[in-house]
Amino acid sequence: MIVFIKKCTKKLKLFVLYWTRIVFVKNHFNCSVFKKIRANFGGGFLADQWILYDFDHNDKGEYLSEFDWYRSRYINEPFDFLLNNKIAAAEILKQYVRVPESYMIKNKGFLTSFDSEHMEYEAAVDLLKQKGELFIKPYGVGKGNGVNILIYREGKIFVDQDVFTEEEFIQFLRRRDNWFISESMKQHRYSDDIYDQTVNTIRLITLRDIHTHQFKIFFAVQRIGTSATIPVDNGSRGGLVAKIDLETGTLSEARCLHSLDVYKVHPDSGAPIEGVKIPGWDKIKEEMLALANKMPYMHFIAWDILVTEDGGICIIEANTSSGVNIIQLWGGQRHDELGDFYRYHKVIKK
């Protein structure tokens, strides 16, 4: 009976997601109603994906859809919940790898330290003055939504690029719930050289190979923010993604999920993107495979990695799934390795 209820709950969630995140979602491209209907009801694609994947000229049967991605979120059951919550994920990962330090959390109206000490909002002001730069994030929301950078500079408090008085900042914290404040990490010079107004992370995917049953690095992109995405770099927010050559760590040209433009240089800084090589790439791959093996109960993990100032790695987030857009900008995957992986785990049938 319990298994039946779980199956029904999962189907209901997917049904709601289909209508709210696919049929009625806001699109960024100018797509005709006819094409939108064909996309939405012809495999669960977004109208944006019709344009992004150029289905006027490409066979959509070669591509994984948005709905396929939503179904893939259950591959790591029953352990998927561990990575769906940023706090839980960080508590597990900090045993094995550097993660940003978390300082305080607001949960259901209660503000506490991570030692369970009650805190006043003024403590957040003092902490920001001490550290100079922090991040505030919702602990159960993805895609960079609700993330703000907090800066104290020259006696002023900035939330992203807006100036707040201390009183306004405290009210800002009071109005929001279910958030935590964490350390702001200094990124490596290679990343700053491309664009230094956002924290630019690597999205690297490890999965358990369906043939060898060993973990492997499947795909990686360098995510790069723009003036429109400050302070985050998320592709879903309009950031850029450059494919990383898994052998050499060299970046391709960058692309965007909100336009068909291709960027060999950064649109704001003018700095080169194509051809940039990530320092210490072989060591990064070695460390990430070792880390994946620390979590043998996870068949698929999408890691958000910051290469730090000293060349080390810091795991900003670990996710139980990854949107297919940033992968399929370079070609459909339904009949390639990711599609085979999805079929093995019964996410798709053909």
Same domain (yes/no): 266, 159: no
Asked whether residue 106 is domain-assigned, the answer is: yes
Residue 85 has pLDDT above 80, yes or no: yes
Asked whether residue 193 is domain-assigned, the answer is: yes
Q: Which residue, of 130, 150, 183, is where some domain finishes?
A: 183
pLDDT band at 306 (very low <50, low <70, confident <90, very high): very high
Same domain (yes/no): 88, 169: no
Asked whether residue 339 is domain-assigned, the answer is: no
Asked whether residue 330 is domain-assigned, the answer is: no
The residue ranking higher by pLDDT, 314 or 18, is 314
Q: What is the pLDDT of residue 2?
A: 67
pLDDT band at 92 (very low <50, low <70, confident <90, very high): very high
pLDDT of 182-218, one tens digit each? Answer: 999 899 999 999 999 999 999 999 999 999 999 999 9
Direct distance between the N- and C-terminal alpha carbons of the chain, in angstroms, rounded to an integer: 30
Q: Which two tokens stand for residue 68?
A: 């396929």
The enclosing domain of 224 has a CATH number of: 3.30.470.20
Same domain (yes/no): 7, 88: no
Residue 142 has pLDDT above 70, yes or no: no
Q: What is the pLDDT of residue 5?
A: 75
Asked whether residue 347 is domain-assigned, the answer is: no
Q: Contact 300/205 with Cβ under 8 angstroms?
A: yes
Asked whether residue 315 is domain-assigned, the answer is: yes
Asked whether residue 143 is domain-assigned, the answer is: yes
Q: How many domains does the chain have?
A: 3
Same domain (yes/no): 201, 291: yes
Asked whether residue 228 is domain-assigned, the answer is: yes
Residue 287 has pLDDT above 80, yes or no: yes
Rounded Cα gap, residues 168 and 98, in angstroms: 33
Same domain (yes/no): 224, 276: yes
Same domain (yes/no): 117, 237: no
pTM of the model: 0.92
Q: What is the pLDDT of residue 144?
A: 59
Same domain (yes/no): 109, 194: no
Using DSSP's 3-state secondary structure scheme, residue 267 falls into: coil
Rounded Cα gap, residues 54 and 169, in angstroms: 45
Same domain (yes/no): 164, 264: no
Same domain (yes/no): 106, 89: no
Rounded Cα gap, residues 309 and 296, in angstroms: 30
Strand boundaries in 139-261, DSSP class E = 148-153, 156-159, 162-164, 179-183, 202-208, 215-224, 240-244, 251-256
Q: What is the mean pLDDT of residues 210-239?
A: 92
Q: What is the pLDDT of residue 9?
A: 80
Domain that holds residue 25: 2-72
Q: What is the pLDDT of residue 7?
A: 76
190 CB burial (10 A radius; 0-12, 13-18, 19+): middle
Same domain (yes/no): 246, 310: yes
* Percentage of residues in the chain having pLDDT higher than 70: 98
Q: What is the pLDDT of residue 3?
A: 65
Same domain (yes/no): 90, 201: yes
Same domain (yes/no): 259, 221: yes
Q: What is the pLDDT of residue 234?
A: 82
Give, in order, the Cα–Cα distances in Å from 141 to each of 84, 138, 178, 184: 8, 6, 10, 19
Q: Which residue, of 129, 161, 183, is where some domain finishes?
A: 183
Q: Which residue, of 183, 206, 239, is where some domain finishes?
A: 183
Rounded Cα gap, residues 51 and 39, in angstroms: 10
